[in-house]
Amino acid sequence: MGAPRAHNQQQRYPQPLGALRLELAPTFDRAEAAGLWWPYSRDLTREAAHLIDDFPADRGRIDRLVYAPIDWDVVATEVFTNRGRVKVGFLSADRRGGVVLLRLTGNGIVQLRVAWAAPTWRMRPS
């Protein structure tokens, strides 16, 4: 088992595999996860671009994403979105996977839990 594969040729503006599967908490003011995200694949270049492009504009604009490379088959240090290149980074090695951190312009940092199976339940507002 080697290191995660990175794209040799970055695909610019990859087509999403379906509707963005994202559920956000009503507010981002709590320490725990602010939402759940169900990507279609483990290709970060495709899935992160989809998340960034289709993130609800009324909740903020993603200008950076940080993730655990162990969670993904295809990793990257940048993704190409419809609005341009967005830098992405890695969580520290001691940090467990299953989450992504998003830096939102004007709204600070938000943590999303990543669920690999199709959504079968919904978050309950607190």
Confirm whether 20 is domain-assigned. no
Confirm whether 104 is domain-assigned. yes
Task: Give the pLDDT confidence score for residue 119 in this predicted structure.
Answer: 58
Task: Give the pLDDT confidence score for residue 90 in this predicted structure.
Answer: 93
Q: How many domains does the chain have?
A: 1
Q: How far apart are the first and last CA of the chain?
A: 41
Q: What percent of the chain has pLDDT over 70?
A: 78
Task: Give the pLDDT confidence score for residue 30 in this predicted structure.
Answer: 66
Task: Give the pLDDT confidence score for residue 45 in this predicted structure.
Answer: 92
Confirm whether 122 is domain-assigned. no
Confirm whether 21 is domain-assigned. no
| pTM as predicted | 0.80
Confirm whether 79 is domain-assigned. yes
Q: Which residues of the chain carry a pLDDT beneath 50?
A: 1-10, 126
Confirm whether 11 is domain-assigned. no
With a CB cutoff of 8 Å and minimum separation 6, the contacts of 30 are 126
Task: Give the pLDDT confidence score for residue 1 in this predicted structure.
Answer: 43
Confirm whether 123 is domain-assigned. no
Residue tagged 């981002």 (tokens):
28
Task: Give the pLDDT confidence score for residue 36 in this predicted structure.
Answer: 94
Which residues constitute the domain of residue 90? 35-114
Confirm whether 28 is domain-assigned. no
* Cα 7 to Cα 9: distance, rounded to the nearest angstrom: 5
